[in-house]
Chain A
Amino acid sequence: MQQYKIAIVGSRETILGFKALGVEPVYANEPKEALESMFALKGERIESGGESRNKYAIVFVMEDLMTYITPDDYKKLTSDPLPAFIPLPSHLGSTGYGLKKLKGIVERAVGMDILN
């Protein structure tokens, strides 16, 4: 089984706690900054067993930084099997972005929203 790393993107005060868990923190305060670091994280690769592969398998991103991502950028980010970009609600509470994302997925798959 191949070993990967986990990263988290968010504002300093929120993700500090995750740093203690051994998750690699990437500080970003602005959505634009966050987007740049997400692309950078996606691009990071390591060599293992003679082949190069993604370093990160999961990138958690604070929801408030993800709300302004354009569908185009989102498609580019999620085009590969790994890493998975997962929005997390910040300390400010859920913005509903995560559920909206799920709805989008359902709409793509089924053609209409059948959740609820």
Chain B
Amino acid sequence: MELQLEIMAIMNVNATRMALLTLKKKIKSAERGHKLLKDKQDGLMQKFMGVIHEAKTAREEVEEKLGASFKNFIRASSLMESGFLESALLYSTAETNLGVETKNVMSVRIPTFDLKVEGEVVNYSMVQTSGELDISLQSFLDVFPLLIKLAEIEKSAEALAEELEKTRRRVNALEYRMIPDLKDTIKFIQMKLDEMERGAIINTMVVKAKIEAAA
């Protein structure tokens, strides 16, 4: 008995019927909360698994394609004087705007990006620039939507991961700390109340016996 009491975590409450009732209510809501959070965790995890694999493929694709684009660009810039290059790029009238909408997936805000490029990227004289520049800018334009996609997926994965971590902590706190503690305390109070009841019965029995002996 002594040993069992040691591993039981009993909260600091009075061993009364009143406290027992409140604790019983508390454990009920704790259990319901635990179930809900567990469901949320499962849902998030399912979503996360889909997103993270997508993120990995997107990242690998970007690394491959962007590397090629950069190589093109470096080659183009090595063929031109830096002053010409910069002035050529200066006249680009392209303007990017990013429409952002946030979706709510299980209380996680997930962004979706919608890219709009307006104006002309190639807007320079053909005389002073090399053909490689056209090619490299075109390849940048081609990877651009991919980059936006990557940003969207990675940010979603990050947000989901954060929420998952939080949810997991909450689930664990409820499962391994709060609910067992409440259970132990309820058991403790119940035993204490039973003990008091038995004590009261013995008392009456002793008093009754004494009265009978005196009579």
Contact = CB atoms under 8 A, between A and B. Distances in A.
Contact of B96 (A6, A16, A17, A106): A6
Contacts of B114: 1
A88 B177 CA distance: 43
A93 B63 CA distance: 8
Contact of B52 (A6, A98, A106): A106
Contacts of B10: none
B135 to A, nearest CB: 11
Contacts, number: 147
A22 B147 contact: no
A19 interface: yes
A27 B63 CA distance: 21
Interface in A30-82: 57-58, 60, 78, 81-82
Contact of A84 (B55, B59, B155, B160): B155
Main secondary structure of the interface of B (DSSP, over half): helix
Contacts of A86: 147, 150-151, 154-155
Nearest to A91: B70
Nearest to B69: A17
A75 B52 CA distance: 19
B87 to A, nearest CB: 11
A20 to B, nearest CB: 4
Nearest to A25: B89
Contact of B101 (A1, A5, A16): A1
A17 B92 contact: no
Contacts of B63: 89, 94, 98
Given A57-B113, A109-B165, A20 B97 contact: no
Given A2-B100, A57-B100, A91 B71 contact: yes
B98 A18 contact: no
Contacts of A6: 96, 98, 148
B161 A108 contact: yes
Contact of A20 (B62, B94, B118, B164): B94
Interface of B: 45, 48, 52, 55-56, 59-60, 62-63, 66-67, 69-71, 73-74, 77, 85-86, 89, 92, 94-102, 109, 111, 113-114, 117-119, 121, 136-137, 140-141, 144, 147-148, 150-152, 154-155, 157-162, 164-165, 168
Interface of A: 1-6, 13-14, 16-23, 57-58, 60, 78, 81-82, 84, 86, 88-91, 93-94, 98-99, 101-102, 105-106, 108-111, 115
22 contacts: A6-B148, A13-B74, A16-B85, A17-B140, A21-B117, A21-B144, A57-B98, A57-B113, A58-B151, A60-B147, A60-B151, A78-B158, A82-B111, A86-B154, A88-B62, A89-B62, A94-B67, A99-B56, A102-B56, A106-B161, A109-B45, A115-B52
Given A6-B98, A84-B158, A88-B62, 12 more contacts: A4-B98, A13-B74, A21-B92, A21-B117, A21-B137, A23-B96, A78-B158, A81-B111, A84-B154, A86-B155, A102-B154, A110-B164
